Amino acid sequence: MSLLFSPLTVRGVTVRNRLWVAPMCQYSAVDGVPQEWHHTHLAQFASGGAGLVVAEATAVSPEGRISLEDTGLWTDEQRDAWGPIVAAIRDRGARAGVQLAHAGRKASTWSPFSGEHGSVPAAAGGWTTVAPSAIAFEGYDVPQELDAAGIDEVVADFAAAARRAVDAGFEVLEIHAAHGYLVHQFLSPLANRRTDEYGGSLENRARLLLRIVDAVRAAAPDVPVFVRLSATDWADDGWDVAQTVQVARWAADHGADLFDVSSGGLVAHQRIETGPGYQVEFAARVRNEAGVAVSAVGMIDDAVQAEAILAAGEADAVSSAREWLRDPHFALRASVELGDEIAYWPAQYLRARRRTPARAA
């Protein structure tokens, strides 16, 4: 058995393999309520052999949405709509997770399908965004700086969303602290210019994240809690890997179980050097220097590549996004490529498990 198809247990939840589906925004919800599209989209990955399927960045409050079409968990109606989707994932043998998110200054934007760019005006349903400081993301409206009461409300919103997620059946909760959204904005000195207890030193800039970890852990004491971190801003004087390592240590002390290591998204002038597995080195540093469990993500689209990452001790699991969109049965294909005999091929697909040798001419 390859490492990729060996199980991984996190806080009592055993995931059948280490090839996971990263959260991918679909911009297809109505008033935060997931639709039939989300059901089909997410359940197919479980049929395709994924170990863990993490649903998209799901807003903890209306003003936390990236766009008007984002999913949410701030109402019971949304919770109830997630229930059958989660059941479909679990019925197919995968674990179901959800990414809890607040977009901060990158909220109230047009969906990528609209043809528009920038902030949505109030007349079209947009709203005033919030952030650690009144500094706009390039090309977006200037946000309102959160006061102490606003910060407390954000923490409470994450806790309430966590409770609804567990009630809907989700088995893993991921706190989105990456990609330039609200928690990342507090972490990075490029977006956080506060002079109170939430700004300045690393300890202060990490305070919101640690409060959210505490709140989510209290709301879901037995559920694995992941944290998605951008390991670097890819910009001068910004957030970097050394700070990520330290904050991962602190978050683990507060009850976080695993760190989903990505990068970028905070500023438009970032300079990203991409390539196959280009973020794996960041995951490896967090794993080895912070002594925590991590998943690696970023252009991991090949079974041999994924297995090599695990074999090298660079991550405990690997997550992919676009490869799952290209092939919703990525894990089934990977098991054949690695020669693994896994027991969870759907009976309806068994005839495809072994390739038929080509006939001689």
What is the per-residue pLDDT for 359?
Answer: 53
**13: pLDDT confidence band, cut at 50, 70 and 90?**
very high
Question: Is the residue at 252 inside a domain?
Answer: yes
**325: pLDDT confidence band, cut at 50, 70 and 90?**
very high
Residue 139 has pLDDT above 90, yes or no: yes
What is the per-residue pLDDT for 11?
Answer: 98
Distances (CA, A) of 300 to 140, 240, 310: 31, 22, 12
Q: Tell me phi and psi for residue 220, to 5 degrees.
A: -140, 70
Q: What percent of the chain has pLDDT over 90?
A: 97
Residue 357 has pLDDT above 90, yes or no: no
Residue 199, class by beta-carbon neighbours within 10 Å (0-12 exposed, 13-18 middle, 19+ buried)?
Answer: middle
Residue 88 has pLDDT above 60, yes or no: yes
Which residues are bridge partners to 349 per DSSP? none
CATH number at residue 220: 3.20.20.70
Question: Is the residue at 89 inside a domain?
Answer: yes
What is the per-residue pLDDT for 354?
Answer: 80
Pairing mode, strands 13-15 and 8-10: antiparallel
Q: DSSP of 287-300, one letter per residue? A: HHHH--EEEEESS-
Question: Is the residue at 357 inside a domain?
Answer: no
Q: What percent of the chain has pLDDT over 70?
A: 98
Contacts of 56 (CB under 8 A, 6+ apart): 23, 24, 25, 26, 38, 70, 71, 99
Question: Is the residue at 359 inside a domain?
Answer: no
Residue 361 has pLDDT above 90, yes or no: no
**pTM given for the model:** 0.96
Question: What's the mean pLDDT in 191-214?
Answer: 98
What is the per-residue pLDDT for 1?
Answer: 85
Question: Is the residue at 360 inside a domain?
Answer: no
Q: Which residues are catalytic?
A: 181
Question: Is the residue at 173 inside a domain?
Answer: yes
Count of domains in the chain? 1
Question: Is the residue at 51 inside a domain?
Answer: yes
What sign results for the dihedral spanned by CA atoms 104, 110, 112, 117?
negative
**339: pLDDT confidence band, cut at 50, 70 and 90?**
very high
What is the per-residue pLDDT for 360?
Answer: 52
Range of the domain at 23: 8-352
Question: Is the residue at 48 inside a domain?
Answer: yes
